Structure 1
Amino acid sequence: MDGINLSNPVFVTYAIASSLLVLKLMGQGWMTVYRMMRVDGGFVSPEDLRKTPLNPNPRPQQLDTDDYVDRSRRMHRNDLENIPGFWMAGFLMVIVSPPLWLAQCLMYGFVAARVAHALAYATKQTHDVRATFYTIGSLIVIFMALYVLWAVLF
């Protein structure tokens, strides 16, 4: 655990990549809220139809699915399904002390794959395009986990 400090460049790489992913994950949630407010709809819970200062004129149509809002919600859900695996595998990578070049390629590669996936989703690219970026990110995390297992077992 001596490598968990800012003098370890692999940890610094992990810290930068993880921080960027935190911003991506949290920003996507805010983007969903922005879109809900912009269209005054896309809500998901019946209690969202209560009259409040932020929803002074509630109406049943606000619970209708809105693709503009739901697209952001799907992007957020996708991040929630993929980013935590990176956090765990990345942290374990730091502990097993991989070469810096490998850690940087994998960690920054994952961040790039998530950004590319988000751009593909936001611009309504085909499933094939989104799946390509998902696959790249997924394979990176799988490789990281296998690298850790190899380092620990052998």
Structure 2
Amino acid sequence: MVELNLENPVFITYLIASAIMVLKVMGQGWITVYRMLKVGAGYASPEDLQRGMINTSPDPSQLEVDEYVDRSRRMHRNDLENIPAFWIAGLLFVAVNPALWLAQVLMYGFVAARLGHFWAYATKQTHEIRATFYSIGSMIVIYMACHALLAVLA
């Protein structure tokens, strides 16, 4: 396919946005682990209570929800619910060869929306602020999918 090569600036835009989102998803997982280790709580599985070099004093209370850890876990889950749809819709969008300016606005807009969502969640902004960033990202993904679908059906 001609569109999926490094000579296509739309595809390069997709690669850059996608790579940033890969780093976001993977980074959020590491932030969750860091928080878990920092507070020694918020563990997810019963086997996490086994004594080891990291957990030298296991306690059943470590399996209880810890807000500091769980906030990061919720952010990670939200990424995993939203970013894969961007990867798929973005690739479909590239395949129908949209205008470069449109691809850049949408794809970099999605990255900005996800980073805004991260900021809003991490700093405990109101639900309305967080939902605004979510909605912007969601509408971008929906638009890209519809654009690709309409281009194929036309």
Q: TM-score, normalised by structure 1?
A: 0.99
The code of the aligned residue for 1:79 comes to: D
State the 4+ residue runs in structure 1 displaced beyond 3 angstroms.
none
Q: What residue number does 1:45 align with?
A: 45
Q: What residue number does 2:140 align with?
A: 140
Q: What residue number does 2:70 align with?
A: 70
> What's the CA shift string for 1:76-121, capped at 9, x where partnerless?
0000000000000000111100000000000000000000000000
Structure 1, gaps ≥5 residues long:
none
Structure 2, gaps ≥5 residues long:
none
> Aligned Cα RMSD in Å?
0.6
Q: What residue number does 1:27 align with?
A: 27
Q: What residue number does 1:16 align with?
A: 16
Whole-angstrom CA distance in 1 between matches of 2:110 and 2:64: 34
Alignment size in residue pairs: 154
Q: Tell me by how many angstroms 1:138 deviates.
A: 0.3
Identity, % of aligned positions: 67
Whole-angstrom CA distance in 2 between matches of 1:144 and 1:5: 19
Q: What residue number does 1:3 align with?
A: 3
Whole-angstrom CA distance in 2 between matches of 1:24 and 1:45: 24
